[in-house]
C-alpha cells in the first residue's frame, strides 16, 4: 500500500511539473545591437525580472544583432503577431505611430532631467499606449543620451554641413532636420553604416558616442561634434496579439519589469558613455569638440510649426512636453 501511494504521488508530481512547464511561456525579443551593448543588458535584466515576478511563467529570450530581422522587419513581424517583442527607437517608430515624432524634434528637451521626466511620466505613458490598435504596445523607454554629428571634419555651425551626406534613420523628422541644417540626409540601415562610412557612401552620421566604440564607427569617423541636437529614446515593445494573450497579472508583471529595467538602464548609461568616450579618444583617436548649440536650434525652428500643423495630436504633445520643462 505504501509503495502504491508513493508511485501515485510520483505520477501526480510529474503531471504537475509537466503542466507547469507547459504553462510557461518564452517571449522572443529582437534588436539590432551587439550583446555587449547597454541596451542588450537592460533587456536581459527585464527578462530576469519578469521571470521572477511571474514565478517562471513568463520568460524573455533576447536576440541581439538583428538575428530575427532588422528594425523595420521586426516591426512588421511584431505587428502581424509573428514576433512577440522588439526594440526600436522613437525616430523609426514615428512611421508607425505619429505620437513618437514629438520626441524626435531637435532641442525639444531642455536637459536630461526634463527628458527623463517626460519619458517616465504621464506623457511617456500616453505615447506608449497610443499604438495598440496599430499592432504593438510600448512597454518602456531606454535613454540613449544626446545625438550629435560625427565625421572626419569639425561641424561647429550648420554651414559646416553644407554638401555633406549625413546618414539618418528612415525618419521624416531626422531627414527634415538635416535638410534645414544644410546637409544632405541619406537614410541607411544602421547595420550598413560602418561600410557606408568606410566606402564614402556617406560623409558622416549622427548618434550617441557609444556608436563610436560599440559599433566601431570611431575607426573611421575621427571627429565627434557635440551639438546634441536630439535625445531620442529606444522603445521596448510587445505585439498587441501577444499582449492581449497574457493574463492581467502577467501584463502587470511585464510592465513592472520593463519599468524597473528602464531605471536600471538609466543608472548605467552615463557611466558607460563616459567610459566609451575615453576609449574612443585614447584608442581610436577620436576628437570631441564642444559646439555652440544656438545656431543649430535656430535653424530647425520651422520643424515645430510644421509638426503642429500636420497633426493636432502632435501639436498637443509638443505643448505638454515643453510645459513639463518648467
Per-residue pLDDT of the chain (326 residues; tens, 9 = 90+): 444 444 434 544 444 444 444 479 999 999 998 898 889 999 999 999 999 999 999 999 999 999 999 888 999 999 999 999 999 999 889 999 999 999 999 999 999 999 999 999 999 999 999 999 999 999 999 999 899 999 999 999 999 999 999 999 888 899 999 999 999 999 998 989 999 999 999 999 999 999 999 899 999 999 999 999 999 999 999 999 999 999 999 999 999 999 999 999 998 888 889 999 999 999 999 999 999 999 999 999 999 999 999 999 999 999 999 999 98
Alpha-carbon span 79 to 237, nearest angstrom: 10
Which residues are within 8 A (CB) of 4 and not within 5 positions of it... i.e. 6 or more apart?
Answer: none
**Cell representation of residue 166:** 549625413
pTM score, two decimals?
Answer: 0.85
Write a three-state SS string for 248-293: HHHHHHHHHHHHHHHHHHHHHHHHHHHHHHHHHHHHHCCEEEECCC
* Residue 167 near residue 206 (C-beta atoms within 8 A): yes
Q: Please, what are the domains in the chain?
A: 28-326 (3.40.190.170)
Q: How many residues appear in the chain?
A: 326
CB atoms within 10 A of CB 189: 15
Amino acid at each position: 500500500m505504501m509503495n502504491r501511494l508513493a508511485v501515485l504521488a510520483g505520477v501526480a508530481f510529474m503531471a504537475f511539473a509537466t503542466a507547469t512547464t507547459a504553462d510557461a511561456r518564452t517571449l522572443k525579443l529582437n534588436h539590432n545591437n551587439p550583446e555587449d551593448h547597454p541596451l542588450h543588458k537592460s533587456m536581459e535584466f527585464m527578462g530576469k525580472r519578469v521571470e521572477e515576478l511571474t514565478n517562471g511563467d513568463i520568460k524573455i529570450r533576447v536576440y541581439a544583432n538583428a538575428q530575427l530581422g532588422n528594425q523595420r522587419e521586426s516591426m512588421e513581424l511584431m505587428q502581424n503577431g509573428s514576433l512577440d517583442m522588439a526594440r526600436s527607437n522613437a525616430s523609426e517608430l514615428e512611421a508607425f505611430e505619429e505620437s513618437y515624432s514629438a520626441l524626435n524634434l531637435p532641442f525639444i528637451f531642455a536637459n536630461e532631467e526634463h527628458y527623463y521626466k517626460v519619458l517616465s511620466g504621464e506623457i511617456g505613458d500616453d505615447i506608449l499606449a497610443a499604438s495598440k490598435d496599430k499592432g504593438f504596445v510600448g512597454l518602456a523607454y531606454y535613454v540613449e543620451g544626446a545625438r550629435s554629428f560625427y565625421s572626419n571634419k569639425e561641424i561647429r555651425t550648420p554651414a559646416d554641413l553644407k554638401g555633406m551626406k549625413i546618414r539618418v534613420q528612415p525618419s521624416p523628422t531626422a531627414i527634415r532636420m538635416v535638410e534645414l541644417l544644410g546637409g544632405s540626409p541619406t537614410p541607411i540601415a544602421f547595420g550598413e553604416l560602418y561600410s557606408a562610412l568606410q566606402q564614402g557612401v556617406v560623409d558622416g552620421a549622427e548618434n550617441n558616442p557609444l556608436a563610436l566604440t560599440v559599433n566601431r564607427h570611431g575607426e573611421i569617423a575621427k571627429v565627434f561634434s557635440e551639438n546634441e541636437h536630439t535625445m531620442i529614446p529606444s522603445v521596448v515593445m510587445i505585439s498587441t496579439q501577444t499582449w492581449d494573450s497574457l493574463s492581467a497579472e502577467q501584463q502587470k508583471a511585464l510592465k513592472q519589469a520593463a519599468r524597473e529595467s528602464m531605471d536600471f538602464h538609466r543608472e548605467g548609461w552615463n557611466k558607460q558613455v563616459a567610459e566609451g568616450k575615453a576609449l574612443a579618444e585614447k584608442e581610436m583617436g577620436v576628437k570631441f569638440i564642444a559646439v555652440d548649440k544656438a545656431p543649430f536650434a535656430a535653424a530647425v525652428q520651422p520643424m515645430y510649426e510644421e509638426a503642429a500643423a500636420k497633426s493636432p495630436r502632435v501639436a498637443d504633445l509638443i505643448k505638454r512636453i515643453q510645459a513639463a520643462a518648467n
